[in-house]
A and B are shown apart, each in its own frame.
Chain A
Amino acid sequence: MGARRKRQGGYGLLAYALLYLAFLYVPVMFLPLFSFNDSAFIAFPLTGFTTRWYSEMLADSAMHHALLNSLKVGATVSLVSTFLGLLAARALTRYRVPGGGLVLGVTSLPLLIPEIVLGISLLILLNAAAIPLSLYSVVAGHVLVCVPFAITVLMSRFEGFDKSLEEAARDLGDGPLKAFVRVTLPLALPGIVASLLLTFLTSFDEFLIAFFLAGTDATLPLYIWGQLRFPFKLPSVLALGAMILVASALLVVLAEWVRSLGVRERSPTMVGA
């Protein structure tokens, strides 16, 4: 009896897991599916295979412009927020910063504020200061959201390695900067790469803040949003979405791989022999 009940529980769990995975991924799968469908209408039955939407989308110069904007914003945001995060993470893990917990809490707050609120308040601030909206204001808004991610990723990396490694570098003759470059940076590298990827992706698909702060220059999510007004453009938006999906997945896999390299390197075998 007990064994049977356990088995039923096992099936129940399996069904739950399958349903959950389906809920997660089936909607996403519609993107590539309909992006190859030879019809302007997103409906079953499928009518035939085409790559027309891809060529149409790739030929759109407005899309190129928006993509380039997003790449520029994403690259800047990831560099700036990873750099700031690096400094903060090192300070918070290495030194007893007075009120360190409070600092960490306050810098993480933007994660908890709804982005729509953040977007509106930044817009009000920029208007009040008479700063024109541009990609720079988008960068500023994204950095605000991305720095907490960078700090979290980098802190876990810094906490993982022995403080005496830096001291050993100093002991062997390096000044503070040299020790940082020769020991701290290489050891933090997997964390830095992970932080760069994570903050880039966060900025790349961010819509709300960009919506309020972008002015006339659109980022890719804003471009897509704009395209949705034209029903016949929908299939090429799906094609674009499918390509972004694949690129993001590759980036995430890359980030995980780099992170796992770091983890392996941190688990030395201590065998007495």
Chain B
Amino acid sequence: MSDGFLHIAGVTKRFGDVTAVDNADLGIARGEFFSLLGPSGCGKTTLLRMIAGFEFPDEGEITIDGARITDEPPNRRPTNMVFQSYAIFPHLNVFDNIAYGLRRERPARVELRKRVEDALAMIKLEGFGGRRADQLSGGQRQRVALARALVMRPKVLLLDEPLGALDKRLREAMQIELRQLQKSIGITFVFVTHDQEEALSMSDRIAVMSAGRVLQVAAPRTLYEGPNCREVADFIGTMNFFEGTTTWVEGSNVVADAGAAGKLKIANAPEFARKMGAHVLLAVRPEKMALALTGAGTASSANRLSGTLAAAAYLGERSHYQVRVEGFKEPIAVAAQNEGPEPAAHHTGASVTLTWPADAMIVLPTD
């Protein structure tokens, strides 16, 4: 990750005593859809604003396509931004909003009109050029903001939670549209969001941030299936955690004593767990666990845990369950597809058994 089309090297930004971005290193490839994901206040927007030129790093360098832009003002960078509030100029109509940046180059009238109309066609708002900003819906404003930035043909397009203000249905439609648009024009996108589903569904790669630090950079599937620390595992999706100590090791197969959860079997354990007495954090996704009435026949599985069904939520194609297990404060989350008829066992208060295979175990270092 030492090079990249957009390269962020050791970038740190402090606001007074608060370190907003702490020694961030990122290499983003040309044409990549890259997301910065994290809870609010994690530094993702500050990092984006440093790429745009609205904030300047205290330490570190930012380069785009080999050119150092660390100290350049926003108007001298090959980047354009889609703002969270869209920032559509209220005193200009749609045409003049999109033409705003182009007018600096003093293009011929015909050329200007053609480029703006192409941009309007791209965002499917043909004929909207004469509308004022306050005559547009939220989704239309978002498109105009996108077109206004894209007509500038930036090397990198920066998007600051652009879908946050839209309702759910529209947001999902825009996610697909934005992704298709990005693939067809091939411009590098850096997308800031706090919505993990959004990041997972749209991105080529995601950087998960927390408290100013980049915790992990990976493709969506890797991030979900193989988080590198408790924070990432916890932030992306739902996760059940067990703490344990290894008591048996044979190659990459390990058994850990997890206290109240008993002995848990792990396949494909990472290096640091392949020794006796290692303290490990074990994580299992809810959908990797199977749930059955205790006593009913269950397929033999490497790991098994008994408890009481505390809650069940029916969500259409799947159901979510909360299982209380003696010795654990937090209930264990289980998710199952609703394929057959409703299983009789799934009533709260029932004694249930959870089973999951050894290769469903994610092993993380204890922190």
- Residues in A lying within 8 Å of B, measured CB to CB: 161-162, 164-165, 167-175, 182-183, 186-187, 265-273
Asked if B167 contacts A165 (CB within 8 A), the reply is no
The answer to whether the Cβ of B165 comes within 8 Å of any Cβ in the partner chain is yes
Could you tell me the distance in whole angstroms from the C-beta of B89 to the nearest C-beta in chain A? 6
Asked if B83 contacts A164 (CB within 8 A), the reply is yes
Asked if B170 contacts A168 (CB within 8 A), the reply is no
Chain A contacts for B84, CB-based, 8 A = 164
Assign chain B's interface to a size class.
20 to 34
Q: Mark B129-165, 1 if CB is under 8 A from A, else 0.
A: 0000110111101000000110010000000000001
Chain A contacts for B100, CB-based, 8 A = 169, 172, 182
CA gap between A270 and B79 in the complex, in Å: 27
Given contacts A164-B87, A167-B54, A183-B89, contact A172 B152 (CB under 8 A): yes
Chain B contacts for A182, CB-based, 8 A = 100
Is chain B's binding surface mostly helix, strand, loop or mixed? loop
Asked if B91 contacts A187 (CB within 8 A), the reply is yes
Chain A contacts for B251, CB-based, 8 A = none
Partner of B148, one of A172, A175, A270, A271: A172
The answer to whether the Cβ of B246 comes within 8 Å of any Cβ in the partner chain is no
CA gap between A265 and B85 in the complex, in Å: 16
The answer to whether the Cβ of B104 comes within 8 Å of any Cβ in the partner chain is yes
Asked if A172 contacts B101 (CB within 8 A), the reply is yes
CA gap between A59 and B342 in the complex, in Å: 100
Asked if B165 contacts A172 (CB within 8 A), the reply is no
Q: Mark B100-136, 1 if CB is under 8 A from A, else 0.
A: 1100100000000000000000000000000001101
CA gap between A161 and B90 in the complex, in Å: 10
Chain B contacts for A270, CB-based, 8 A = 137-138, 141, 165
Partner of A268, one of B74, B91, B133: B133
CA gap between A265 and B135 in the complex, in Å: 11
Q: Which A residue sits closest to B154, measured CB to CB?
A: A171
Could you tell me the distance in whole angstroms from the C-beta of B160 to the nearest C-beta in chain A? 9
Q: Which B residue sits closest to A273, measured CB to CB?
A: B137
Asked if B83 contacts A167 (CB within 8 A), the reply is yes
The answer to whether the Cβ of B81 comes within 8 Å of any Cβ in the partner chain is yes
Q: Mark B61-96, 1 if CB is under 8 A from A, else 0.
A: 000000000000111000111011101011100000
Chain B contacts for A186, CB-based, 8 A = 91
Q: Which A residue sits closest to B98, measured CB to CB?
A: A172
CA gap between A271 and B141 in the complex, in Å: 10
Chain A contacts for B149, CB-based, 8 A = 171-172
Apart from A167-B81, A171-B79, what are 17 other A-B pairs with CB-CB below 8 Å? Answer: A164-B87, A167-B54, A168-B83, A168-B89, A169-B89, A170-B53, A171-B52, A174-B104, A183-B89, A187-B90, A265-B91, A267-B134, A268-B133, A268-B141, A269-B137, A270-B165, A273-B137
CA gap between A182 and B104 in the complex, in Å: 11
CA gap between A165 and B84 in the complex, in Å: 11
Chain B contacts for A171, CB-based, 8 A = 52-53, 74-75, 79-81, 149
Asked if A173 contacts B91 (CB within 8 A), the reply is no
The answer to whether the Cβ of B166 comes within 8 Å of any Cβ in the partner chain is yes
Given contacts A172-B101, A272-B166, contact A167 B74 (CB under 8 A): yes
Task: Report which residue of A175, A186, A267, A273 has the largest number of chain B beta carbons within 10 angstroms of its beta carbon.
Answer: A273
Asked if A164 contacts B138 (CB within 8 A), the reply is no
CA gap between A270 and B100 in the complex, in Å: 23
Given contacts A174-B104, A268-B134, contact A168 B81 (CB under 8 A): yes
Q: Which B residue sits closest to A165, measured CB to CB?
A: B87
What are 8 A-B contacts with C-beta separation under 8 Å? A168-B87, A169-B89, A170-B53, A171-B74, A172-B148, A175-B75, A182-B100, A272-B138
CA gap between A183 and B152 in the complex, in Å: 18
Chain B contacts for A165, CB-based, 8 A = 87, 89-90
Q: Which A residue sits closest to B132, measured CB to CB?
A: A265
Given contacts A172-B80, A265-B90, contact A162 B85 (CB under 8 A): yes
CA gap between A268 and B131 in the complex, in Å: 13
CA gap between A96 and B54 in the complex, in Å: 15
Pairs A-B, 6 closest by C-beta atoms: A172-B101, A168-B87, A272-B167, A164-B87, A268-B134, A170-B74
CA gap between A171 and B152 in the complex, in Å: 10
Task: Report which residue of A168, A169, A273 has the largest number of chain B beta carbons within 10 angstroms of its beta carbon.
Answer: A168
CA gap between A164 and B83 in the complex, in Å: 7
Asked if B139 contacts A272 (CB within 8 A), the reply is yes
Chain A contacts for B73, CB-based, 8 A = 170, 175
Task: Report which residue of A183, A269, A270 has the largest number of chain B beta carbons within 10 angstroms of its beta carbon.
Answer: A270
Asked if B83 contacts A266 (CB within 8 A), the reply is no
Could you tell me the distance in whole angstroms from the C-beta of B21 to the nearest C-beta in chain A? 18
CA gap between A265 and B134 in the complex, in Å: 7
Chain A contacts for B104, CB-based, 8 A = 172-174
Could you tell me the distance in whole angstroms from the C-beta of A173 to the nearest C-beta in chain B? 5
Chain A contacts for B54, CB-based, 8 A = 167, 170
Could you tell me the distance in whole angstroms from the C-beta of A248 to the nearest C-beta in chain B? 29
Task: Report which residue of A162, A171, A175, A272 has the largest number of chain B beta carbons within 10 angstroms of its beta carbon.
Answer: A171
CA gap between A265 and B54 in the complex, in Å: 26
Could you tell me the distance in whole angstroms from the C-beta of B152 to the nearest C-beta in chain A? 7
Asked if A269 contacts B80 (CB within 8 A), the reply is no
Could you tell me the distance in whole angstroms from the C-beta of B200 to the nearest C-beta in chain A? 23
Chain A contacts for B53, CB-based, 8 A = 170-171
CA gap between A173 and B79 in the complex, in Å: 10
CA gap between A172 and B136 in the complex, in Å: 21
Q: Which B residue sits closest to A265, measured CB to CB?
A: B90
Could you tell me the distance in whole angstroms from the C-beta of A230 to the nearest C-beta in chain B? 53
Chain B contacts for A268, CB-based, 8 A = 90, 133-134, 136, 141
